[in-house]
Amino acid sequence: MKNEQAKKYGMVIDLDKCTGCGACMVACMAENNVPFKKDETNKLDSITWMRVFQLTNGKSFPETDICYIPRPCMHCEGEHGHSPCVSVCPATATDYSQQTGIVSQIYTRCFGCRYCMAACPYHARYFNWWDPVWPNGMEKYLNPNVSPRMRGVVEKCSFCFHRYQRAMEKAFLEGRRELEEEEYQTACTQACPAGAIVFGDLNNEKHKIHQIVNPDPAHRGRPKNPKAFRLLERLGTNPKVYYLSSREWVRRAGDNYLPHEGSGKGH
Amino acid sequence: MDDALIPKGVKRCPLPEFLMKLGPVVVVLIWGIVAMFMCWFKGLNQTNMNDSYGFALWIWADLTVIALGGGAFFTGLLRYIIGKDKLKNIINFAVLVGFICYSSALLILAIDIGQPLRGWFIFWHANVHSMLTEVAFCLTCYFGVLTIEYLPLVLENRQVDQVSFFHHLSHNMHEVMPIFAATGAFLSFFHQGSLGGVAGVLFGRPFAFREGILIWPWTFFLFTWSAAAYGPCFTIMLAKITEKITKKKLIKDDVYALLAKISGWMMATYIMAKIIDTWYWAVVTAPSKGQGFMEFYSDNAFYGIWILILEIVVGGVIPAAILITRKGRSTPALLMIAVVLAVIGVSVNRWVMVLQVMAVPVLTFEGWPMYYPSWQEVATTLLPVAYGILLVAFSYRYLPVFPQEAELNPIDLESDETAESVTASETADAKLSPAKA
Amino acid sequence: MKMDRRSFLSFVIGGAAGTTLSPLPWKLTDDLAIWSQNWPWTPVPEKGEVSYANTTCMLCPGGCGITVRKVGDRAVKIEGTKGHPVNNGGICILGLSGLQLLYGPTRVPSPLRRTGERGENRWQKVSWDEALAWVAEKLADLRGKRLSHTVACISGTDGGTVPRLMERFLTAFGSPNFIRTPSMRDSYEMTLHLMQGAQASIGFDIENADFIVSFGSGILEGWGSPVRMFRANSVWKENGVKVVQIEPRLSNTAAKSDKWLPIHPGTEGALALGLAHVILKESLYRKDFVGTHTSGFDRWSKEVVEEWTPEQVETVTGIDKSTIVDLAKSFANAKKPLAICGRGKGNTAGGIGEFMAVHSLNALMGNINRKGGVWAVPGSDHIHWPEVEMDAVASAGMQQTRIDGAGTDKFMHARHLLHRVPEMINAGDPSLVQALFVLDANPYYTLSDKALLKKAWAKIPFILSFSSFMDETAQNADLILPNHMYLERYEDVPYAEGFNKPFIGLAKPVVSPQFDTLHTGDAILRLAKALGDPVEKAFPWEDYEGCLDDTFGDQWEELQEIGYRVESDFEPGSRNTAFETASRKFEFIPEESKDAAKNVMVKAEGEEPAYPLVLIPYDSPRLASGFIGDPPFMIKTVPDTVLKENDLLVEVHPKTAQSLGISEGKPAVLKTPKGEARVRVHLFEGIMPGLVAMPTGLGHQAYDGYLAGKGINFNDLIGPVEDEVSGLDAAWGIRAKLSRV
Amino acid sequence: MFPFNFEWIWDMSHMVFMGGLWFALTILGLGMTYCVIKAAIDAAKGKGGGHH
C-alpha cells in the first residue's frame, strides 16, 4: 500500500463484444488443469473458474434480448483486502496479496471447510467433490505450472498467477523490476477471439484497463466510465473485474435494486 | 451380572435386557459409521452438497447441537458462578448432554471437511480473523472443559471410586470446578457467538449479513444468548424424556421450575432482541444492498415467510410466554410443549442461518438452488444421536447422574432381585431421536 | 484383585499419556497431512523445457494459425498465433480443445479390422502392411472386374494435397467418385460460377463493410472462419457498424446484432428480393455498376418489382412491410453494405435461389470485388502435378456417371451432391458403390435421413475410414487406417473459409505421432504402389513429404518457416476483367438457371396438421457440429438449458409450449417425417412461436463416454430436400410434432 | 497458532485472540495439573475415602 509500485491487477470485459462462445472457459480449463467428469450438466458441481452466464432482459418475443457475461473470480479487495472469502478462511489458505491485488488459493493448505464458498456471492469458488481423473493418456497435456488439485479442496480463478510469476522471473533475469502490460496476461484474455477482455494493472495509468475503467479511488475503485459497472457493487466487495455494456438493462442486471429504485449505480 | 458397577441405592434392569433394548440404536450407530467411512474414503461426493451448498445438513446439525448443548455452560454458569445451588441436581445431566453435543459436533466437523487428515491446519495455520477459527479453538477447548466436568462423574462409578487416586482426583476436581466452569463459560460465550458470527460476517450475502459492534455482528450476541436461553430447554426436555422412559422421577420439580424460569426470561429477552434485529435487517441492512425483505421468502419452492413465523413466533414468543409464567412452567404438559417448541425454534433458527443463507440468490441471474441431503448425510447426522442415546443409557446405568434419584425412588433392598425392572434401556425409544436431531 | 485393577488402569492411562507426550502421534499426524497433499493418484505434470511450435488448425475450414506450447515433448496448450493473417492471436473454443483430441481416448491406436458386425465396435489390430495389402487386394479385384468406378471417396475437403492425392488416386484407378461433404461452400461456389462465371471461393472483405445484413448466417456461431468473424464483430462494435440479423431464433449473432428480425424460417430469400424491390423502386442501387457491369438487369428488376412487393414479402416472411422498407433504405444508403447468407455455421448447402437473391443485393449495391464487399477469390494454384496417364480401365471408369449425379445434365453446375448418394446406392443392385473411402468426414453422423443411409451403408461391401478418431463412420467401417491427427502431420490447408485473400496454411507436426498411425498421404502412395502400374506411376513421389516438397518447390522452405502463405496485397480483378461469364458481366439471371429466382424458397418436408410445428436446427460455437465431435472441455461448457444429463432440451416459445401443455424442463416426444426422439423442453422467449429449435452437434453414438449418448443428432430427424435448380440439399428444417409424455 | 507459524503477525488481532486462547488453555492445564498432583499426594498419604 505504502509501496507506490503496488499493483492492482484487474480485468474489464466488454459485454458488447462478448459473444458467449465459451473460449475463455476452455482456455482457462486448459491452462489451469481443470478436471472434467463424464457428466457436467449439473452446473452446481461443475468446476468452471471462468463461467459464462446468460442474462436476459425478461421481455417477451420479439423484444427479448440476451447478453453473455463471463464470470471469473472477482478478486475482491473489499476494504483494505478484506475480501469476503479471505477473511473467513480459517486456515489462511486463501490470501489477498497487497502487491498484486490477487486473491490466491493454496490447495495444499486448504482442508475443505468450504466457508469461503459460503462467503462468495459470485459462486466463483468450486469444491473438488471428486478426485480429478484424466482419461488414460490425457494427463500428458497437463500444464506443469499449475498443480492439479486433490479431492476435497476449494479452487478458483487465480488470474493465472503462475503467468505473473513466470513473467516476473523473466523480467528479473533481464534485470527489470517492472512488467510490460502484455507480459502478463491471463489465459482467457489471451484466448478471447472477440478481444472482449482487457487485463492489466488498475493502478497504472498507462494500462488500457485503467484508461477504460477510470476507477475512482475515493469510492473504492468504482468506475467513472458510465458504461462500466461491477457485479454486486452495493455489497462493498470491491471487485477488480469490471464490465462494459452500452445496454442499460445489462448494467442493471449487475446488481440488485429495490423496485422503486431507479437505474444507475445504487447509492 | 454387572451389579458391582451399578450405583448404590438405585435399581437397574438386567444387563441382557438392557443390551437388547439398545440393539436398534446400535444398528443406527453402525449405519452411521458405515456412512462416515464412505465419506472419508470416497470423499464428499457421497453427499448432495454442491458448490452452491458448501454448507448444508451437517453444518446445521453442528450449529444446532451446539446451541442445544448450550445448557451445559449456562447451567454450569448458574450453578458454579451465580450460585444457584439447586441446579446441582441437574448439572450432571446437563454436562452429560453437553458432552454428547460437543463431541458430536466435533465428529461431524471431522466428516464435513474435505481433507480430514489436514483438519488440524485450522489450529496450526490459524487465521485469527475467521469466525470459524474462533469456533474451532473455543469448541475444542470447551470440549476439554466438558470432559473435565464429565470426568468426575465417571470417577464416581462405584468401582473406579475405589481406586484411591481416582477418588481423590474426583474430589479435587469438584473443588476446582468453579474455575473450570468459569473458563467454560468464557469459551462458550465466544464459540456460541462466533458460530453466529459465521453467518453474520458474510457481507457478500445480504440474507445473512448483520451489522454489529467492532468485529462482531449482532448474530454473534444473538447466538450466545439463544444458546443460553434454549440450551436449558433441551436439557429439561431430555431429562423429562429420560424420566418417561425410565418411568421414574429423577429430578425434583422445583429444579425444573427454576431452570425453566431462567430459560424463559432469557428466551423472552432474546426473542425481543431477535425481533428488533430482524426488523432492522429487513428495513435497513438488506435494502441497502438492493434486496427487499420479501425477496428472501418468495420465488422458490420451499422458503416462505412461514419459516420466519415458525422460528420467531412459534419457536420463540410462545415458549417464552409459557415459561415466564409460573402456571405455564409448573404445568407439566405446558412445560413440555414449551421446551419442545423452543427446541424447534432454535433448530429452525440455525437452519435458516445455514441453509437458507445458501439458498438465497445474490447474483440477479442466478436462481434458488435447492438441496436435499443424501442418505449418507442423514446417516452421519443420526450417528451422533445414536451415540448420544448410548452414552446417556450407559451413564445412567453406571454413574450417579441424578443425585435425587435414590431419594425420589427409594428401593427395598430385600426385594431388589425381584423388583420390576424399569430401565434406562428404554432410552432407545425412537421418541428421543427427533428431539435431538 | 485390587492391585490388578489398579495396575491395569494405571497402565492404560499411563500408556495413553506416554504415547501422547512422545513424538509419535505428532509425527504421524504431520505425515498423514503431507501424504494427503501428495496423493499418488493426483497427477503431477512433468516439468521440462518450454517451447512453442506454430502450425495450422484443421478442425474446421477456418484456417487459423495456432501456437502450441510444449513442455519437453508434451503439448500442453494451444493458443492463437499472434500476427497470423486469419486469426491474429485469437482462437476458438474448439481449437483450444485440440489437445484433448490429440491425447484423448477417442484416437484409433493402429489399423483396425472389424471382427464383429458393423457398428459392434469389435476390432482386431492389424499391421500397416497387412491392412494396405488387404485394401490393395480388394481394389485390384474391383479393377479386374472393370468396376473401378464403384470405388468412391467421401472427403471433408478438397483442394489440398491430400484430398487431391486421393482424387488423383481415384482418377488413375478409374473412378470419378470423389465427393466432398456439403456446406455453404457448394452454394457460394455455384453462385459465383453462375453469376460471375468464376471458379472461385467466396471471400468477404468483412472488416471493411459498414452495414451487414445477415440472412441467418451465424457470424458468431462459427460461420466462415470463426475467429476472424468474432474479431470483425468487435471491430464493427468499435466503429459503429450496424448488423442486422435475420433469423427466427435469437442466436448469439442475433443477440449481438443491432437489429434482430425474426423471420419465418426458409423465407430469407424472399426477404432479400423484397429488399431488392424497395431498392429498385426507390432507385437506390448503384447505377454505375449495374449499368456497365451487369446483364439481365431489366428482366430481373421487372420480375422483382412485380412479384416481391413489401406487402407480399410481409405475408411470406412475417416481417412488417415498413421494417422491410426501412431496412432496404438503410442498406442502400450505407457506403459499403454487405449481404451474406448460409445458415448457422454454413454446414449445409442451402437453396441456390436464396444465395443468388442475396448475392443480387450485393450486385445492386455494386459491392462485388471491391472494398468492403464480396470477392471472388481464386482457388489456390499450388498444385501442378503432371496429368494422369489413364489406361483403358481408368478411362472407362472415368467415363462413368458420378454416383451423385453431379455434373450430369440435370445437375450441370453441381460439383458434389453427397446427399444423393444413399438413395442411388439403394436404387442399384448390386450397389453402385462397392468400396467407400472416408477422409476427414463423418458421413454416418452428418448425413440426414438415417433410415435411407443405414440401408445404403449395409449395401456397401467395403468401407474404409482414414479417421484419426473413433467416430461414427469409423465405428461402422470395415477397416480403419488411422491418419496422424493434425498436430502430428504435415498438410496444406488450401483456404480459410470466407477469407478474401488467397491463402495457404501449413499444418506441421508439433508432436511425434502418439499411436501407430500413418499419414493418409503416405497411405495413398503406398496403396498406389501396391496396385502397381498404371496407378503407381501417377505418383512419382517417395513419400508424402516428398510430394509436398515437390508441390511447393522453392516455396517449400519458406512455407515451412512461416507456416502460411497469403497474398496480402491481393485485389480482386477489376470489374472489366472479373466477370468470366459469356457476357463478361455480372448475370442477374444466368441463362443456365433461369428459374433460380422463382425458387428462392424451399418448402420444409412434412404436412400440417400431422406436423403442426417446424423444427429448425441451431448451431452453437460450443458444439462442434462438423466431422469432429465435441471434446470434454467443450461439452463441459454446454449450458444445462441445452443438455441435462443425457437429455437434449429443445427450445420452444412459452406460448407454444403452453398450448401443448408442456412446461419447462419436461420431457416430450419430438416427431418428424424422418424420425422420432425423446427430448426435454426449454422455454425460450427468443424463438418464434410455432417453432422447435434443436442444437446440432449432439447425439453422438461413437467417441468416448464424455460425448457418446448425450442428446440427439439433428440429422436423425431430418432428410434432404433437393433444390430443383441446383440439386443441392436445401433443407433448412422439417415439420414436426411435439407432444408431452 | 505459534509465533513460528509463518502467517503469525504480532498485531492486535493475534495478541487478543491467541492471548485469550493461551490464557484459557493455561487455566485448564494448571487446574488439571493441580488436581492430578494433589490427588496423587492425597492417595499416597492414604487419606480416607479410597477404600470403602
- Burial class from Cβ neighbours inside 10 Å (0-12, 13-18, 19+) for residue C340 reads buried
Which has the minimum average pLDDT: A216-220, B206-210, C490-494?
Answer: A216-220
Do residue A23 and residue C91 have CB atoms under 8 angstroms apart?
A: yes
How do C462-465 and C435-439 pair as beta strands?
A: parallel
Partners of C260 in the beta sheet? C245
Q: Closest Cα of chain C to B118: distance in Å?
A: 5
Nearest residue in B to C2, CA atom: B163
Contact residues on chain B for A119, CB-CB shorter than 8 A: 202, 204-205
pLDDT score of B409 more than 90: no
Which has the minimum average pLDDT: A6-20, B153-167, C429-443?
Answer: B153-167
pLDDT score of A267 more than 60: no
**pLDDT confidence tier of residue D4, bands split at 50, 70 and 90:** confident
Looking at residue B245, its amino acid is I
Q: Closest Cα of chain A to C267: distance in Å?
A: 18
Distance separating alpha carbons of residues C292 and A222, to the nearest angstrom: 59
The verdict on C532 and C544 lying in the same domain is yes
Residue C408 lies in a domain: yes
Confidence (pLDDT) at C724: 86
Q: Which residue has the higher pLDDT, D13 or C386?
A: C386
Q: Which of A235, A241, A248, A260 to mutate to test the interface with B (most CBs of B within 10 A)?
A: A235
Q: Which residue has the higher pLDDT, D51 or A102?
A: A102
The verdict on C368 and C396 lying in the same domain is no
Contact residues on chain C for A144, CB-CB shorter than 8 A: 45-48, 71, 76
The verdict on C238 and C353 lying in the same domain is yes
Distance separating alpha carbons of residues C132 and C221, to the nearest angstrom: 40
Which has the minimum average pLDDT: B56-60, C145-149, C240-244, C598-602?
Answer: C598-602
What is the average per-residue pLDDT within C100-112? 95
Confidence (pLDDT) at A261: 83
Do residue B121 and residue C5 have CB atoms under 8 angstroms apart?
A: no
The verdict on C333 and C202 lying in the same domain is yes
Looking at residue A8, its amino acid is K
Strands (E), B74-217: 212-213, 216-217
Q: Looking at the complex, does the CB of residue B298 fall below 8 Å from at least one CB of chain C?
A: no
The pLDDT > 70 percentage for chain C reads: 98
Confidence (pLDDT) at C57: 96
Here the cell at position C447 is 448425413
* Cβ atoms < 10 Å from Cβ of B298: 12
Contact residues on chain C for A25, CB-CB shorter than 8 A: 93, 633, 636-637
Residue C46 lies in a domain: no
The verdict on C9 and C139 lying in the same domain is no
For the stretch B123-148, pLDDT in tens is 998 888 898 988 888 888 889 999 99
Contact residues on chain D for B172, CB-CB shorter than 8 A: 34-35, 38-39, 42
Q: Which helix (H) or strand (E) holds B9?
A: none
What angle is formed at CA B197 by the lines to CA B195 and CA B202, rounded to 5 degrees?
125
Residue A116 lies in a domain: yes
CATH number at residue C710: 2.40.40.20
What is the average per-residue pLDDT within A146-159? 96
> Of the candidates C497, C241, C191, which has an alpha carbon nearest to the alpha carbon of residue C361?
C191
What is the average per-residue pLDDT within A136-158? 95
Do residue C252 and residue A68 have CB atoms under 8 angstroms apart?
A: yes
C281 within 8 A of C324, measured Cβ to Cβ: no
Nearest residue in B to C35, CA atom: B117
Q: Which residue has the higher pLDDT, C299 or C595?
A: C299
Residue A267 lies in a domain: no
Count of structural domains within chain C: 4
Distance separating alpha carbons of residues C95 and C634, to the nearest angstrom: 10
Do residue A88 and residue B45 have CB atoms under 8 angstroms apart?
A: no
Nearest residue in A to B136, CA atom: A90
Q: Closest Cα of chain B to C6: distance in Å?
A: 7
Do residue B163 and residue C6 have CB atoms under 8 angstroms apart?
A: yes
Do residue A256 and residue B291 have CB atoms under 8 angstroms apart?
A: yes
- Burial class from Cβ neighbours inside 10 Å (0-12, 13-18, 19+) for residue B33 reads middle
Mean predicted lDDT score pLDDT of chain D: 80
Distance separating alpha carbons of residues C502 and C263, to the nearest angstrom: 35
Mean predicted lDDT score pLDDT of chain C: 93
Nearest residue in B to D41, CA atom: B165
Taking each helix axis from N to C end, the angle separating B88-112 and B218-246, rounded to the nearest 10 degrees, works out to 120
Do residue A26 and residue C685 have CB atoms under 8 angstroms apart?
A: no
B63 within 8 A of B192, measured Cβ to Cβ: no
For the stretch A68-82, pLDDT in tens is 999 999 999 998 889
Do residue A114 and residue B114 have CB atoms under 8 angstroms apart?
A: yes
Q: Which of C27, C31, C32, C42 to mutate to test the interface with B (most CBs of B within 10 A)?
A: C32
Q: Looking at the complex, does the CB of residue B50 fall below 8 Å from at least one CB of chain C?
A: no
Confidence (pLDDT) at B72: 86
Nearest residue in B to C6, CA atom: B163
Q: Looking at the complex, does the CB of residue D51 fall below 8 Å from at least one CB of chain B?
A: yes
Count of structural domains within chain A: 1
The pLDDT > 90 percentage for chain C reads: 86
Q: Which of B140, B169, B177 to mutate to test the interface with D (most CBs of D within 10 A)?
A: B169
**pLDDT confidence tier of residue D45, bands split at 50, 70 and 90:** confident
Confidence (pLDDT) at A266: 41
- Burial class from Cβ neighbours inside 10 Å (0-12, 13-18, 19+) for residue A130 reads middle
What is the average per-residue pLDDT within C40-64? 94
Partners of C614 in the beta sheet? C691, C735
For the stretch C17-28, pLDDT in tens is 888 788 888 899
Confidence (pLDDT) at C596: 64
For the stretch C167-209, pLDDT in tens is 999 999 999 999 999 999 999 999 999 999 988 999 999 999 9
Here the cell at position C486 is 493434425
The verdict on C635 and C694 lying in the same domain is yes
Q: How many CB pairs under 8 A join A and B?
A: 166
Distance separating alpha carbons of residues B299 and C413, to the nearest angstrom: 59
What angle is formed at CA D43 by the lines to CA D40 and CA D45, rounded to 5 degrees?
110
Residue C264 lies in a domain: yes
Contact residues on chain C for A150, CB-CB shorter than 8 A: 36-37, 39, 42
Do residue A16 and residue C706 have CB atoms under 8 angstroms apart?
A: no
CATH number at residue C197: 3.40.228.10
pLDDT score of B424 more than 50: no
Residues 6+ apart with CB under 8 A from C730: C349, C350, C351, C352, C354, C602, C721, C722, C723
- CB-CB: which of C2, C6, C29 is closest to B120? C29
What's the domain range around C537?
A: 112-182+389-483+516-562
What is the average per-residue pLDDT within A130-141? 94
**pLDDT confidence tier of residue D16, bands split at 50, 70 and 90:** confident
The verdict on C189 and C292 lying in the same domain is yes
CATH number at residue A225: 3.30.70.20
Contact residues on chain B for D36, CB-CB shorter than 8 A: 169
Residue A58 lies in a domain: yes
Confidence (pLDDT) at C576: 65
Residue C605 lies in a domain: no
Q: Looking at the complex, does the CB of residue B291 fall below 8 Å from at least one CB of chain A?
A: yes
Confidence (pLDDT) at C1: 47
**pLDDT confidence tier of residue C2, bands split at 50, 70 and 90:** low
Assess whether the previous peptide bond of B384 is cis (omega < 30° from 0): no
Partners of C202 in the beta sheet? C376
**pLDDT confidence tier of residue C504, bands split at 50, 70 and 90:** very high
pLDDT score of A4 more than 60: no
What's the domain range around A138?
A: 9-252
Nearest residue in C to B115, CA atom: C36
Strands laid side by side in the C74-80 sheet: C50-56, C65-71, C74-80
Partners of C738 in the beta sheet? C670
* Lookup result for grid cell 472494398: C371
Three-class DSSP category at C332: helix
The verdict on C364 and C222 lying in the same domain is yes
Highest-scoring range by mean pLDDT, B79-93, B416-430, C461-475: C461-475
**pLDDT confidence tier of residue D51, bands split at 50, 70 and 90:** very low
Partners of A198 in the beta sheet? A12
Q: Looking at the complex, does the CB of residue A81 fall below 8 Å from at least one CB of chain C?
A: no
Do residue A258 and residue B136 have CB atoms under 8 angstroms apart?
A: no
The verdict on C256 and C330 lying in the same domain is yes
Confidence (pLDDT) at B426: 41
The verdict on C363 and C423 lying in the same domain is no
Q: Which of B41, B113, B117, B124 to mutate to test the interface with C (most CBs of C within 10 A)?
A: B117
What is the average per-residue pLDDT within C287-292? 92
Distance separating alpha carbons of residues C181 and C154, to the nearest angstrom: 7
pLDDT score of D6 more than 80: no
* Lookup result for grid cell 507456416: C563
Residue A2 lies in a domain: no
Q: Looking at the complex, does the CB of residue A42 fall below 8 Å from at least one CB of chain B?
A: yes
The verdict on C255 and C292 lying in the same domain is yes
Contact residues on chain D for B129, CB-CB shorter than 8 A: 13
Here the cell at position B205 is 450475502
Contact residues on chain B for D26, CB-CB shorter than 8 A: none
Confidence (pLDDT) at C13: 79
Q: Looking at the complex, does the CB of residue B48 fall below 8 Å from at least one CB of chain A?
A: no
Q: Looking at the complex, does the CB of residue B162 fall below 8 Å from at least one CB of chain D?
A: yes
Do residue A148 and residue C686 have CB atoms under 8 angstroms apart?
A: no
Q: How many CB pairs under 8 A join B and D?
A: 82
The verdict on C143 and C230 lying in the same domain is no
Partners of C463 in the beta sheet? C436
For the stretch C665-716, pLDDT in tens is 999 999 999 999 999 999 999 999 999 999 999 999 999 889 999 999 999 9
Domains annotated for chain B, with CATH where assigned, are: 49-371 (1.20.1630.10)
Q: Which residue has the higher pLDDT, D52 or C210?
A: C210
The pLDDT > 90 percentage for chain B reads: 64
Residue C506 lies in a domain: no
Here the cell at position C389 is 496417364
C710 within 8 A of C700, measured Cβ to Cβ: yes
Distance separating alpha carbons of residues A13 and A29, to the nearest angstrom: 19
What is the average per-residue pLDDT within A193-204? 95
Distance separating alpha carbons of residues A81 and C14, to the nearest angstrom: 49
HSE (side-chain half, CA atoms, 13 Å) at C259? 17
Q: Please list, residue by residue across A14-30, b when 16 or more beta carbons sit within 10 angstroms of its beta carbon and e when fewer do.
A: bbbbbbbbbbbbbbbbb
pLDDT score of A46 more than 60: yes
